[in-house]
Amino acid sequence: MNEMLKRKLIGLLLACTASASVAQSMLIPKPSEGLMPNPAKGKTLFAAQCAACHGADLRGSDKGPSMLHKIYEPSHHSDAAFQFAVKNGVRAHHWKFGDMAAVPGLTPDDVAHITAYIRMEQRKVGIQ
């Protein structure tokens, strides 16, 4: 094998190893086993941590999208997607609000409560 090919293969191997390392650090957080998510607690957490961008009424603002839009229905954005977004942030892909930064200070249990509140409000507007 010539030297140039060896270097390319080593570079590719290092890139793959780095990518796997990044993927490992981006695992989806999981709430405590047996947790019963509480929408009332989620409403309070949402007001404190999410409403500035997603609106106090979950209908969005000039900083972030409505959580009552069909795009956030469970079949398109699972509960795990909310966990991932809060922990790691999300690149803009549906809207033109820009990337969402990670939200420090929220535990997976907190996110489960927030998600329960969002799902309850979604059902009220016909999102299943």
Both tokens of 79, joined, read 């509960």
pLDDT tens per residue across span 40-75: 999 999 999 999 999 999 999 999 999 999 999 999
Predicted pLDDT of residue 23: 45
Helix (H, G, I), strand (E, B) or coil at 100: strand
Question: What's the pTM value of the predicted model, to 2 decimals?
Answer: 0.79
What span, in angstroms and rounded, lies between the C-alpha atoms of 52 and 43?
13
Predicted pLDDT of residue 83: 97
Predicted pLDDT of residue 24: 43
- CATH number for the segment(s) 36-124: 1.10.760.10
Predicted pLDDT of residue 19: 40
What span, in angstroms and rounded, lies between the C-alpha atoms of 126 and 62?
24
What span, in angstroms and rounded, lies between the C-alpha atoms of 106 and 68?
21
Other beta carbons less than 10 A from residue 50's beta carbon: 23
Nearest to 121 by CA among 53, 60, 35, 32: 60
Out of 27-31, 33-37, 47-51, least confident range: 27-31
What span, in angstroms and rounded, lies between the C-alpha atoms of 75 and 72?
8
Domain ranges of the chain: 36-124
